[in-house]
Structure 1
Amino acid sequence: MSVLIVIPARYGSTRYEGKPLVPLTGATGIKKTLIERSWDAAMTVNCASRVVVATDDDRIRLEAERFGAEVVMTSDACKNGTERCAEAVANLGESFEIVVNLQGDAPLTPAWFIEDLVEGLRQNPWAELATPVLRCEGEMLASLREDRHHGRVGGTTAVFGAGNRGLYFSKEVIPYTGQSYLPHEPTPVFHHVGVYAYRPDTLADYATWPVGPLETLEGLEQLRFLENGRAVLCTEVEARGRQFWELNNPSDVARIEAMMAEMALP
């Protein structure tokens, strides 16, 4: 099964302008930009047939070409990473059985998250796209709550029903639980990991739909699929001792670098 990984990256993020070019220092003291570390993560995925960076910015293009990435230029009209992936696939003009959106702000994404998504689509023909969810332990849930208390978006949570069919995603911490948990105690809250595997026809359809009210309110691109009745598979993944966090805010740089140091990631 042919699998294309697209890494969408834009310079003009409203929350953190220039984010793809932010340097991150690994455990060995080596500095690499966020986009390079995202590329490194994509290159470890065993099922990937091809990996490209999709951007509309020449600064990101030059940086990606510097470290040897293949770049597909897209328009600045793309509203989010999913639209940028759809345009990149159209510009490539080639057929793939599955397209993966590895967003350029998630350099700690383990390869098996993506491999599990691809396998999930293989095993569940009803699913039109798949996205990973990670059960929060007490420490992660406390971090999510702390971020929301201070008005920061620390992560997205997901709820799903029978067959792991996605019901909703939110920047609030859902489902509600007033309970306190020990640092390594499992909780009923699932952290949504911003990676997607699409069937190509579904991805192409996405770009034709208008932005709906839920996507507008939450600022979450995956809600457009739910608002248009598409079936989303929430694939539960295991951390296997790996820490995971997305770079959403400037304060996340130190958090991610600390995680890289603790996990001895170069």
Structure 2
Amino acid sequence: MSTLLVIPARYASSRYPGKALVPLTGATGAKKTLIQRSWDAARQVSGIDRVVVATDDARIRDMAQGFGAEVVMTSDTCENGTERCAEAHDALGARFDIVVNLQGDAPLTPPWFVEALVAELEAHPTAEVATPVLRTNGRALAGFLEDRRAGRVGATTAVFGIEKQALYFSKEVIPHVTENFPPDADTPVFHHVGVYAYRPSALAAYPRWQAGPLERLEGLEQLRFLERERPVLCVEVDARGRQFWELNNPEDVSRIETMLAEMGIE
């Protein structure tokens, strides 16, 4: 099956404008922009036929082309990364069997997260959308709760049924927990990793649907599928000891730089 990986990136982020061009210092002191580090992460994924950056901003286009990325220009009316992926897929002839959305603010995404999504769609022909979830340990959960107490919008969490179909995604920490967990102990809270794999039919339908009240309240694009009662398959992945975080707020820059240093990523 042919697979397209799209990195949607925009300049006018509501929470952190211009974050795609923010420099992040790696383990050796080298600085690379967020979009370049996301491109580097995408290039590590096996089984991908084509990788493109999709943007509506000339500054991001110029930066991406400068480090060798292929860029597809999309309109400034795209409401989110899924709509931008749909437009990019159309611009490339809508000829791929699977489209992956590796969002441009997740440079620490391990390649096997993406590979697991593609494998699940290949193994389940009726599945339309797949996204990874990562069981948190006590340390990660404490970080989520601290972000919420501080009023920061941090990680997204997910709950799903016994067949792994998503029930809900939220920027709040769900399910509600009152227990204190040791740092390395598993918890019942799953971190939703903002990566998606779509069948072209589901991706093409998405921009035609109006955003529903839950999507607008939470600011989570994947809720549009759930509000239309289209199933989203949650694929549990294993971090294999690797740290993971997304760049949502300015405070996340130092956190990600620390992780890059600890993992020895240049």
| Cα distance, 1:79 vs structure 2 | 0.4
The one-letter code of the counterpart of 2:192 is: H
The one-letter code of the counterpart of 1:159 is: V
| Cα distance, 1:91 vs structure 2 | 1.1
CA deviations on 1:172-196 (whole Å, 9 max, x unpaired) are: 0000110000111000000000000
Cα distance in structure 2, aligned partners of 1:124 and 1:84: 25
Cα distance in structure 2, aligned partners of 1:219 and 1:180: 29
CA deviations on 1:156-183 (whole Å, 9 max, x unpaired) are: 0000002111110000000011000011
Determine the structure 2 residue equivalent to 1:76. 76
Determine the structure 2 residue equivalent to 1:174. 174
Determine the structure 2 residue equivalent to 1:212. 212
Determine the structure 1 residue equivalent to 2:34. 34
| Cα distance, 1:19 vs structure 2 | 0.5
Cα distance in structure 1, aligned partners of 2:120 and 2:149: 35
Is this contact kept in 1: 2:130–2:198, CA < 8 A? yes
CA deviations on 1:62-107 (whole Å, 9 max, x unpaired) are: 0000000000000000000000000111111140010000000000
Determine the structure 2 residue equivalent to 1:86. 86
What number of residue pairs does the alignment pair up? 266
Determine the structure 2 residue equivalent to 1:163. 163
Determine the structure 2 residue equivalent to 1:114. 114
State, as a whole percentage, how many aligned pairs show the same letter. Answer: 69
**Alignment root-mean-square deviation, CA:** 0.6
Cα distance in structure 1, aligned partners of 2:76 and 2:218: 22
| Cα distance, 1:124 vs structure 2 | 1.8
The one-letter code of the counterpart of 1:115 is: E
CA deviations on 1:182-211 (whole Å, 9 max, x unpaired) are: 111000000000000000010000010001
Cα distance in structure 2, aligned partners of 1:222 and 1:74: 20
Is this contact kept in 2: 1:130–1:197, CA < 8 A? yes
> What is the TM-score normalised by the length of structure 2?
0.99
The one-letter code of the counterpart of 1:97 is: D
Is this contact kept in 1: 2:171–2:218, CA < 8 A? yes
| Cα distance, 1:127 vs structure 2 | 1.5
The one-letter code of the counterpart of 1:219 is: G
The one-letter code of the counterpart of 2:84 is: R
> What is the TM-score normalised by the length of structure 1?
0.99
The one-letter code of the counterpart of 2:256 is: I
SS at the partner of 1:164?
Answer: coil
Cα distance in structure 1, aligned partners of 2:126 and 2:199: 11
Determine the structure 1 residue equivalent to 2:233. 233
